[in-house]
Amino acid sequence: MYRYFLLLLICISMPSSAIFIRHDIDESQYLADINDFKFLATLYDFGVHGSLIHPQWVVTAAHAVICLSQGSTIRVGDKTAQVSNIYISKNYDSKGEHDIALIKLQSPLIDVPHIKLYTLDDEENMNVWILGAGSSGNGLSKKSTNQKKLLLAENKITETTNSDIYFIFDKGLNAEPLEGASGNGDSGGPAFIYIDNDFYLLGISSRTGSWFKGTGEYGVKEVYTRISTHIEWIEGVLNGSSLERAGLAESISVPNTLSKSRQLDLFCNGNGS
């Protein structure tokens, strides 16, 4: 039943989920190498991401795990890993807030560097990097094609709430040199900074917050789940007992018996995240 609830919520989150870039900057300036960002997890062949925050744990968006189950194979950097359990925040709601989930891997990835969690509450006006390999386009054409190229863009956080961080896809003088926004296929992807040779995760790609602007359109408001206000939940799941975890999250720890559902099959096999 809970997966059907997720299927409903994904319709809310899906439009904002690879990277849209400035129309006046060549795409080659945005190209990134996965070897520089080995913490990046890719959940499906068509994209959708997460971030390795511990050798055995990946954090992503709650709506991004709809097609995963125990035994599913994901990629983390240039490695493959199998899913053991999935934990979805019980605070994830119909507005798309608290869009966060944790994926426990069957075995720790000892030799893969993980990203650190940003714990301070000073994110507003901070410049962040966003990363993804789903669909791509530019803010002028608004057209999206799934090229599966890893792109790295930047933006500035304009607003924060208890659940989320926000930024606007700007153009012209208001834009950052490598201004960008998320596109379809980048749900769960990271918003991060790089300080003193360490990556810090600030947000998780969730959805758009604009009524009259579409995905990848200049002026669209991007919404990322805020890491600093979910630290207690993350640590509770990572370090808690089974009973404690049950109080914090819905667990999907068995093979996906709903995969026989025609509705879910069509969605997952149709690359819908």
- Rounded Cα distance, 222 and 206, in Å: 8
Confirm if 13 and 187 have CB atoms less than 8 A apart.
yes
Query: Taking CA 235 as the corner, what is the angle to CA 230 and CA 236, rounded to the nearest 5 degrees?
Result: 95
- Rounded Cα distance, 269 and 261, in Å: 12
Q: Per-residue pLDDT tens for 214-229?
A: 888 999 999 999 999 9
Whether 257 has a pLDDT exceeding 80, the answer reads no
Q: Which tops the pLDDT comparison, 148 or 264?
A: 148
Token pair of 116 as six digits: 């650190």
Q: What rounded mean pLDDT belongs to the chain?
A: 86
Name the nearest CA neighbour of 27 among 113, 194, 166, 151: 151
How high is the pLDDT of residue 270? Answer: 55
How high is the pLDDT of residue 216? Answer: 86
Confirm if 52 and 41 have CB atoms less than 8 A apart.
yes
Token pair of 148 as six digits: 């599966």
In the chain, the amino acid numbered 139 is G
In the chain, the amino acid numbered 19 is I
- Rounded Cα distance, 193 and 119, in Å: 12
Helix H or strand E encompassing 3? helix 2-13
For tokens 């995240």, the residue is: 273
Q: Per-residue pLDDT tens for 108-155?
A: 999 999 999 999 999 999 999 999 886 668 888 755 555 678 999 999
Q: Per-residue pLDDT tens for 46-87?
A: 789 999 999 999 999 999 998 899 999 999 999 999 999 999
Whether 254 has a pLDDT exceeding 60, the answer reads no
